């Protein structure tokens, strides 16, 4: 019987010179789960993914990926993981079919031609199989990269900002496919900067400059952040932004047309600061704290480890 966790690591650390890029990260991801990895650029997310799939060796820490030891059994892990990198990394002067056939040769896949044909059909690429990869739009390149990551039937799929630069329709279609894969038993670990995508994950972790700051469901992250949010509306509201940022207790001011969302971790102080605005004819009322509010709040608290 397979272990409950597809990923179960403790204290994972990676340094490049004097800089600690991933700092003692603990993570458990259940099989069949879609786990989102959030964090600013340069926070160590990609480095962590590369350690999971055996491309990098941790400097400290231990654990398993798909039941195999992260350090001693990286070769077994590599054959069971599909890794979709940030940048399109396939041959643009080959057709989609030729690219997948090449990947199939690398993995030594039995019945390769049939597997390639099936993968093209499943990912909606059959009609484009003879098109050169370099002629594809961003959304179709993304779909080809996903097909290449799935060709060898992995148990774990690592997706590194997979929808960056593609249109909303392509993003939605991609995530529908990800959920179908998870329903079929594949575990997915995905990095993203899109909050709507983060909310589609079963659980989330926030990594900032190598340190894991928070983990849980989207609702748990919002609840544990301890933020209070208010909605300020009125014709003069947009011009008030700079003034409101200077008020005691105000940590974030986000404009939405004629509406401002203000957040802070000191609920009483924030409420006191905003109360006088009602006398100016502005509508001031409580609002729900969003995952994006939490993301920015954590980012403001994090210390950049670049040296």
Among left, alpha and beta (phi > 0; psi -120 to 50; other), residue 22 is beta
24-33, 52-61, 100-109, 249-258: segment of lowest average pLDDT: 249-258
- Residue bearing the bigger pLDDT, 19 or 165: 19
In a domain, 260, yes or no: yes
Give the torsion sign (CA, 159, 165, 171, 173). negative
Q: What is the pTM of this model?
A: 0.89
CATH of the domain at 244: 3.30.70.100
Stretch 248-270: mean pLDDT: 91
Instruction: Answer yes or no: is pLDDT of 78 > 70.
Output: yes
For residues 157 and 29, what is the distance between their CA atoms, to the nearest angstrom?
12
Q: Is 61 inside a domain boundary? A: no
Helical residues (DSSP H) of the chain, grouped into ranges: 45-52, 74-78, 96-107, 112-122, 138-150, 168-183, 195-198, 218-225, 241-245, 267-274, 291-301
**Domain total of the chain:** 1
Q: What is the pLDDT of residue 229?
A: 95
Tokens 């009483």, residue?
268
pLDDT, averaged across the chain: 91
The answer to whether residue 75 is domain-embedded is no
Q: Provide mean pLDDT across the span 229-254.
A: 88
pLDDT for 306 equals 55
Please give the Cα distance from 227 to 293 (Å, whole number): 8
Q: Is the predicted pLDDT of residue 113 greater than 50, yes or no?
A: yes
In a domain, 283, yes or no: yes
Q: Is the pLDDT of residue 1 over 50?
A: no
241, part of any domain: yes
Residue 214 forms beta bridges with which residues? 206
What are the beta bridge partners of residue 231? 261, 285
Which residue's structure tokens are 């496919």? 177
Half-sphere CA count of 179, side-chain side, radius 13 A: 12
Domain boundaries, position 265: 228-288
Residues facing 166 on adjacent strands: none
Q: Which of 65-74, 136-145, 219-228 has the lowest mean pLDDT?
A: 136-145
The answer to whether residue 28 sits within a structural domain is no
Q: What integer pLDDT is reported at residue 2 of this predicted model?
A: 56
Q: Report the SS3 class of residue 240.
A: helix
Burial of residue 105 (number of CB atoms within 10 Å: 0-12, 13-18, 19+): exposed
Partners of 33 in the β-ladder: none
**In the predicted structure, residue 97 carries a pLDDT above the cut 90:** yes
The CA distance from 17 to 26, in Å, is 22
Q: Within 10 A of 2 (CB to CB), how many other CB atoms are there?
A: 10
What is the β-pairing status of strands 34-38 and 187-191? Answer: parallel
Return d(Cα 171, Cα 188) in angstroms, integer.
16
Measured between alpha carbons, how far is residue 242 from residues 254, 260, 283 in Å? 11, 11, 18
Q: Is residue 269 part of a domain?
A: yes
Question: What confidence category does residue 3 fall into, taking pLDDT thresholds of 50, 70 and 90?
Answer: low
What is the average pLDDT across 100-113? 93
Inform me whether the pLDDT recorded for 159 exceeds 50.
yes
> Is residue 103 one of the residues assigned to a domain?
no
């Amino acid at each position: 019987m397979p272990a409950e966790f597809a990923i179960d690591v403790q204290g994972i650390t990676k340094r490049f010179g004097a800089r600690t890029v991933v700092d003692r990260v603990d993570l458990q991801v259940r099989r069949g789960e879609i786990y989102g990895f959030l964090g600013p650029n340069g926070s160590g997310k990609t480095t962590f993914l590369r350690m999971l799939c055996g491309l990098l060796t941790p400097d400290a820490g231990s654990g398993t990926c798909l039941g195999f030891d992260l350090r001693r059994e990286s070769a077994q892990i590599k054959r069971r993981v599909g890794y979709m990198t940030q940048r399109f990394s396939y041959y643009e002067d080959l057709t989609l079919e030729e690219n997948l056939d090449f990947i199939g040769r690398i993995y030594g896949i039995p019945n390769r031609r049939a597997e390639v044909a099936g993968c093209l059909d499943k990912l909606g690429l059959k009609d484009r199989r003879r098109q050169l990869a370099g002629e594809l739009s961003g959304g179709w390149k993304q779909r080809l990269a996903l097909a290449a990551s799935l060709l060898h039937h992995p148990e774990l799929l690592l997706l590194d900002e997979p929808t960056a630069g593609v249109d909303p329709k392509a993003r939605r279609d991609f995530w529908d496919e990800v959920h179908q894969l998870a329903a079929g038993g594949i575990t997915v670990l995905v990095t993203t900067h899109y909050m709507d995508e983060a909310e589609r994950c079963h659980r989330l972790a926030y990594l900032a400059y190598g340190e894991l700051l928070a983990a849980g469901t989207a609702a748990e992250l919002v609840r544990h952040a301890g933020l209070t949010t208010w909605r300020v509306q009125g014709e003069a509201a947009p011009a008030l932004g700079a003034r409101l940022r200077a008020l005691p207790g105000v940590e974030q001011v986000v404009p939405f047309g004629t509406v401002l969302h203000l957040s802070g971790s000191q609920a009483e102080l924030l409420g006191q600061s905003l109360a006088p605005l009602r006398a100016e004819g502005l509508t001031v009322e409580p609002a729900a704290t969003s995952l994006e509010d939490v993301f920015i709040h954590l980012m403001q608290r994090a210390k950049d480890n670049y040296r």
